[in-house]
């Protein structure tokens, strides 16, 4: 109190003790001085008291006349806008795109034309089914939307982290989404496919089978938004300066590799930190560990397109990389967090129809439907047709046209001319045939061109071959996870006939998969007989589809948790920290109490997290630094026992001081310890730990602990 600089009895804002000091009536008053702005109403009127509403007498009724208070509450009452009907929960970041291998031979798009050219971007990653406040770790597809603010207008690549989709025709989207969303009578489950309506619909929609295999794989439980691949899904066109068109599929590849969590981890993370992905993205950027992706295209011509076993307009199919390789064009780096979640991440309006000269559409019937949908949704979500004026959506290049008015118009367009052609405004905007966007004059739908038809072409009819190819391309652990995921999901389905139908489809995908799932759920001999429209064929497996198969040995961008007790050896800990930092990983200190621990040397070690709030599922690998005395209380602490048991069950590398050994006994794993459990008492063992942790998981352990994975 001695330091406070009082003005009329109120505390000064600059004083750090201000939060401790209550003003009259119990509220803390903070008053402005020359250096601080005065608080005003939305009309700019300076507010004298922001703590008390206007009343008739100190204890009397509040007065309607109190415009400042009413304005404040009215604003608050309207602070929510409708959330996105799909992809409501998202996390965004700013950054840039840089061309590494220009492709002017493929496209006239200026942002892809020159080596080293940089374009500002905003990316938003999302779950699909949950509400804006849902957890980050359901089994769900992740949206991967990027807005490129190019010098020829905004290009939005609105993709997902899976390269195929559930449906072939946009008309089915308003059926698909309500099947996965919470059931309308009961209002649950929030963001889960594991319920009757989803599997009911899916089991009646054979075209979804390829996507269903993908969503039951580890792709739908990513370790981090920074470790996800991204895909444009549809076949797009690139058009070069000579007007030549090339088909493309767009790809994003995280430079630190893709990684997923194990289902049991996902379940636990969602409880322990529902913001796990959002926090991870924000913290990585804040620390300067900028997430980065390679951007590439699979480019192919009409002739190649005609040679595939499937139709390139069918969004339920991939083109294996082994058939058409990915050409890397550039990289995206996300280096800036939003400063205002609502203004940026929430108000960002993406649209697959936002393309620039040199990028064009195909007649993929799913893409065609999307071209209508996204502007339409923004009109109700962002309250009118002027959402392009919001700072996050505005193009960074000049934007001039003759559109005027509408709800919440920000631009004050002068002049009497709001039409074209005109002679009254010679400096007004005009067409530009040379630089303007021109649609590629595609000839599509041979044979049927010109006829109005409501049909699904025969070329879209193979619903199982790529699903089989996907399953066969997975490593053994990934196949196990797919089996477990189906077993889990179908166990949550209450209606037996729906489970039977799904088993019938799985038998068409792969007999071994169907058998594993029906055994796991105890429904042998209860498959429905499904007759496919077109019998599946055996395609060559595509090894590039396996995340485990192509995982890089790296610790970059990973987080290791060290559980440390009083009296622990700080030298070993620091040696581990140094080694991890050299690898681009981070060490987080978990202590029994957030106040930290006193090390053997007497030095105090600050904790990043308390054990009760930092289960081992938060980390990619763990270590335990305990003294003989320090371990004792942990042997009776269920959080500590779970910490180790889970780390082991989740196939993590575990480093430990010799005194930590008794904890393994308490966790019931003492007899199973393997090469992924490493004693860290000798300096050389740190190197061994790093090498093991770089391999990320001890897959061989899985068969022994599989009960924690089902
Ligand atoms: Fe979307 N989708 N979608 N979608 N979608 C939306 O637009 C829609 C589809 C995707 O971070 C909505 O602004 C239809 C495929 C992402 O803001 C809406 C169809 C793919 C995002 C909409 C599809 C996507 C959306 C909701 C079937 C992968 C989040 C709010 C034809 C390629 C973008 C909004 C963000 C968002 C409609 C199918 C990806 C309602 C009608 C396929 C990543 O307009």
* Helix/strand/coil for 660: helix
Q: Of 127, 128, 143, 164, which is best to mutate to test ligand 1, by the most ligand atoms within 8 angstroms of its C-beta?
A: 143
Integer Cα distance of 247 and 546 in angstroms: 25
Which residue's CA is the nearest one to ligand 1's atom 32? 159
- 639 close to 612: Cβ distance less than 8 angstroms: yes
Same fold, 90-380 and 555-709: no
- 192 close to 221: Cβ distance less than 8 angstroms: no
Percent of the chain with pLDDT over 90: 90
**Confidence category of residue 688, pLDDT binned at 50, 70, 90:** very high
Percent of the chain with pLDDT over 70: 95
Q: Comparing 52 with 654, which gets the higher pLDDT?
A: 654
Helix axes 476-491, 511-520, angle to 10 degrees: 50
Which residue's CA is the nearest one to ligand 1's atom 9? 370
pLDDT per residue as tens digits for the range 258-281: 999 999 999 999 999 999 999 999
Which residue's CA is the nearest one to ligand 1's atom 38? 370
Ligand 1 atom closest to the Cα of residue 234 is 32
pLDDT of residue 28: 79
Residues in the chain: 710
Q: How far apart are the first and last CA of the chain?
A: 59
Which residue's CA is the nearest one to ligand 1's atom 7? 374
pLDDT mean across residues, the chain: 94
Which residue's CA is the nearest one to ligand 1's atom 11? 124
Closest Cα partner for 291 from 584, 59, 567, 565? 584
Three-state SS sequence of 552-590: CCCCCCCEEEEEECCCCCHHHHHHHHHHHHHCCCEEEEE
- 486 close to 710: Cβ distance less than 8 angstroms: no
Burial group, residue 97, by CB count within 10 angstroms (0-12, 13-18, 19+): buried
Tell me the two tokens of residue 571: 């030298």
Integer Cα distance of 507 and 213 in angstroms: 13
pLDDT per residue as tens digits for the range 469-501: 999 999 999 999 999 999 999 999 999 999 999
pLDDT per residue as tens digits for the range 187-198: 999 999 999 999
**Confidence category of residue 209, pLDDT binned at 50, 70, 90:** very high
Distance (angstroms) between ligand 1 centre and the Cα of 86 equals 7
Ligand 1 atom closest to the Cα of residue 92 is 11
Integer Cα distance of 18 and 30 in angstroms: 8
Ligand 1 atom closest to the Cα of residue 231 is 32
Distance (angstroms) between ligand 1 centre and the Cα of 127 equals 11
User: What residues have CB less than 8 Å from 495, skipping those under 6 apart?
Assistant: 196, 200
pLDDT of residue 710: 40
pLDDT of residue 15: 54
Which residue's CA is the nearest one to ligand 1's atom 16? 143
Residue 530: CB atoms within 10 A of its CB come to: 17
**Confidence category of residue 9, pLDDT binned at 50, 70, 90:** very low
Distance (angstroms) between ligand 1 centre and the Cα of 132 equals 15
Which residue's CA is the nearest one to ligand 1's atom 6? 86
| Omega of the bond leading into 189 within 30 degrees of 0 (cis) | yes
Q: Of 249, 313, 373, which is best to mutate to test ligand 1, by the most ligand atoms within 8 angstroms of its C-beta?
A: 373
- 291 close to 558: Cβ distance less than 8 angstroms: no
Overall average pLDDT of the 372-383 stretch: 95
Q: How far lies 134's CA from each of 87, 188, 196, 275, in Å?
A: 11, 12, 20, 9
Distance (angstroms) between ligand 1 centre and the Cα of 272 equals 29
pLDDT of residue 681: 83
Pick the CATH number of 470-549 from 1.20.1370.20, 3.20.20.70, 1.10.40.50, 2.60.40.3080: 1.20.1370.20
Quickly name the fold that domain 555-709 has: Rossmann fold (3.40.50)
Q: Comparing 25 with 293, which gets the higher pLDDT?
A: 293
- pLDDT of 703 > 90? The answer is no
pLDDT of residue 17: 52
Distance (angstroms) between ligand 1 centre and the Cα of 185 equals 25
User: What residues have CB less than 8 Å from 271, skipping those under 6 apart?
Assistant: none
pTM to 2 decimals? 0.94
pLDDT of residue 350: 98
Q: Of 370, 378, 379, 390, which is best to mutate to test ligand 1, by the most ligand atoms within 8 angstroms of its C-beta?
A: 370
pLDDT per residue as tens digits for the range 429-463: 999 999 999 999 988 665 556 788 899 999 999 99
**Confidence category of residue 707, pLDDT binned at 50, 70, 90:** low
Integer Cα distance of 145 and 370 in angstroms: 14
Integer Cα distance of 323 and 249 in angstroms: 13
Ligand 1 atom closest to the Cα of residue 374 is 44
Integer Cα distance of 234 and 359 in angstroms: 13
pLDDT per residue as tens digits for the range 611-650: 999 999 999 999 999 999 999 999 999 999 999 999 999 9
Overall average pLDDT of the 26-47 stretch: 85
Ligand 1 atom closest to the Cα of residue 125 is 11
Distance (angstroms) between ligand 1 centre and the Cα of 87 equals 7
Integer Cα distance of 671 and 360 in angstroms: 60
Q: How far lies 113's CA from each of 95, 292, 298, 695, in Å?
A: 19, 21, 17, 38
Integer Cα distance of 675 and 651 in angstroms: 11
| Residues framing ligand 1 (Cβ under 6 A) | 84-87, 90, 124, 126, 143, 145, 158-160, 165, 170, 173, 233, 348-350, 366, 369-370, 373-374, 377-378
Residue 629: CB atoms within 10 A of its CB come to: 11
Ligand 1 atom closest to the Cα of residue 165 is 42
Q: Which of 29, 154, 160, 337 is catalytic?
A: 160
pLDDT per residue as tens digits for the range 499-541: 999 999 999 999 999 999 999 999 999 999 999 999 999 999 9
Q: Comparing 142 with 14, which gets the higher pLDDT?
A: 142
Ligand 1 atom closest to the Cα of residue 369 is 31
Ligand 1 atom closest to the Cα of residue 90 is 11
Distance (angstroms) between ligand 1 centre and the Cα of 128 equals 9
- 615 close to 609: Cβ distance less than 8 angstroms: no
- pLDDT of 125 > 70? The answer is yes
- Residue 354 a catalytic site member: no
Task: Please report, for the chain, the start and end positions of each structural domain, with discontinuous segments joined by +.
Answer: 90-380, 470-549, 555-709
Integer Cα distance of 194 and 267 in angstroms: 13
Which residue's CA is the nearest one to ligand 1's atom 18? 374
Integer Cα distance of 116 and 98 in angstroms: 6
pLDDT of residue 3: 41
Q: What is the DSSP string of 237-276?
A: EEE-TT--EEEEEEEEEETT---B--HHHHHHHHHH-TTH
- Residue 195 a catalytic site member: no
Distance (angstroms) between ligand 1 centre and the Cα of 187 equals 22
- pLDDT of 2 > 90? The answer is no
Tell me the two tokens of residue 428: 């007004």
* Helix/strand/coil for 466: helix
Distance (angstroms) between ligand 1 centre and the Cα of 253 equals 21
Q: How far lies 302's CA from each of 1, 247, 325, 442, 670, in Å?
A: 79, 8, 16, 11, 61
Which residue's CA is the nearest one to ligand 1's atom 8? 370
Q: Of 86, 123, 181, 225, which is best to mutate to test ligand 1, by the most ligand atoms within 8 angstroms of its C-beta?
A: 86
pLDDT of residue 58: 85
Distance (angstroms) between ligand 1 centre and the Cα of 424 equals 42
> For 90-380, which CATH class?
mainly beta
- pLDDT of 366 > 90? The answer is yes
CA 309 centroid distance within chain: 31
């Amino acid at each position: 109190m001695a330091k406070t600089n009082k003005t009329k009895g109120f505390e000064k804002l600059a004083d750090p003790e201000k939060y401790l000091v209550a003003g009259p009536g119990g509220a803390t008053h903070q008053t402005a001085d020359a250096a601080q702005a005065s608080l005003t109403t939305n009309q700019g009127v300076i507010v004298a008291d922001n703590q008390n509403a206007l009343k008739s007498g100190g204890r009397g009724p509040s007065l309607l006349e109190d415009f400042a208070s009413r304005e404040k509450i009215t604003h608050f009452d309207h602070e929510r806008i409708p959330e996105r009907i799909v992809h409501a929960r998202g996390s965004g970041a700013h950054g840039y795109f840089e061309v590494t291998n220009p492709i002017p031979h493929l496209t006239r798009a200026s942002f892809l034309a020159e080596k080293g050219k940089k374009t500002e971007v905003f990316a938003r990653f999302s779950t699909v089914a949950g509400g804006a406040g849902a957890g980050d770790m359901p089994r769900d597809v992740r949206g991967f939307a990027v807005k490129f603010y190019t010098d020829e207008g905004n290009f939005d690549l609105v993709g997902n982290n899976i390269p195929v989709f559930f449906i072939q025709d946009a008309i089915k989207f308003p059926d698909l989404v309500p099947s996965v969303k919470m059931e309308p009578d009961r209002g649950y489950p929030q963001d889960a496919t594991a319920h009757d309506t989803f599997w009911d619909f899916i089991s009646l929609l054979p075209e979804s089978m390829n996507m269903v295999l993908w969503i039951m794989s580890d792709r739908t439980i990513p370790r981090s938004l920074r470790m996800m691949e991204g895909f444009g899904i549809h076949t797009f066109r690139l058009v070069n300066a000579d007007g030549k068109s090339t088909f493309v599929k767009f790809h994003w590849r995280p430079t630190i590799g893709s990684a997923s969590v194990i289902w049991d981890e996902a379940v636990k993370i969602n409880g322990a930190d529902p913001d796990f992905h959002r926090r991870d993205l924000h913290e990585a950027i804040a620390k300067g560990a900028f997430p980065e992706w390679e951007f590439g295209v699979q480019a192919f011509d009409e002739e190649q397109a005609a040679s595939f076993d499937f139709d390139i307009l069918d969004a339920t199919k991939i083109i294996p990389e082994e058939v058409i390789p990915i050409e890397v064009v550039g990289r995206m780096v996300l280096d800036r967090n939003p400063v205002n979640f609502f203004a940026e991440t929430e108000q960002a309006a993406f649209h697959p129809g936002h393309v620039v000269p040199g990028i064009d559409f195909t007649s993929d019937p799913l893409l065609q439907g999307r071209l209508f949908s996204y502007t339409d949704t923004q009109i109700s979500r962002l309250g009118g047709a002027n959402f392009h004026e919001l700072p996050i959506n505005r193009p960074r290049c000049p934007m001039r046209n003759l559109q005027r008015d509408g709800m919440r118009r920000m631009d004050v367009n002068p002049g009497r001319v709001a039409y074209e052609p005109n002679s009254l405004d010679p400096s007004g905007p005009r067409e530009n045939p040379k630089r303007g966007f021109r649609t590629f004059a595609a000839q599509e739908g041979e044979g049927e061109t010109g006829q109005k038809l409501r049909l699904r072409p025969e070329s879209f009819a193979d619903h199982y071959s790529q699903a089989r190819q996907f399953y066969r391309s997975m490593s053994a652990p990934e196949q196990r996870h797919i089996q477990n995921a189906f077993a889990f999901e179908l166990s949550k389905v209450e209606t037996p006939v729906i489970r039977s139908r799904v088993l019938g489809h799985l038998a068409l995908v792969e007999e071994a998969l169907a058998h594993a799932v029906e055994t796991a759920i105890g429904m042998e001999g209860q498959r429905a007989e499904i007759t496919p429209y077109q019998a599946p064929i055996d395609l060559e497996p595509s090894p590039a589809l396996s995340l485990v198969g192509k995982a890089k040995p790296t610790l970059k961008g990973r987080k290791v948790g060290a559980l440390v007790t009083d009296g622990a050896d700080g030298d070993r800990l620091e040696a581990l920290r140094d080694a991890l930092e050299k690898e681009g990983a981070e060490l987080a200190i978990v202590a029994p109490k957030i106040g930290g621990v006193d090390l053997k040397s007497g030095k105090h070690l600050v904790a990043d997290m308390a054990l009760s709030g930092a289960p081992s599922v938060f980390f990619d690998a763990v270590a335990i630094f305990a003294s003989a005395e320090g371990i004792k209380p942990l042997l009776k602490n269920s959080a500590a026992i779970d910490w180790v048991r889970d780390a082991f069950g989740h196939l993590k590398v575990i480093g430990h001081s010799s005194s930590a050994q008794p904890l393994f006994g308490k966790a019931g794993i003492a007899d199973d310890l393997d090469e992924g459990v490493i004693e860290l008492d000798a300096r050389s063992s740190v190197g061994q730990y790093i090498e093991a942790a770089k391999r990320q998981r001890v897959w061989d352990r899985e068969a022994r602990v599989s009960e924690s994975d089902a």
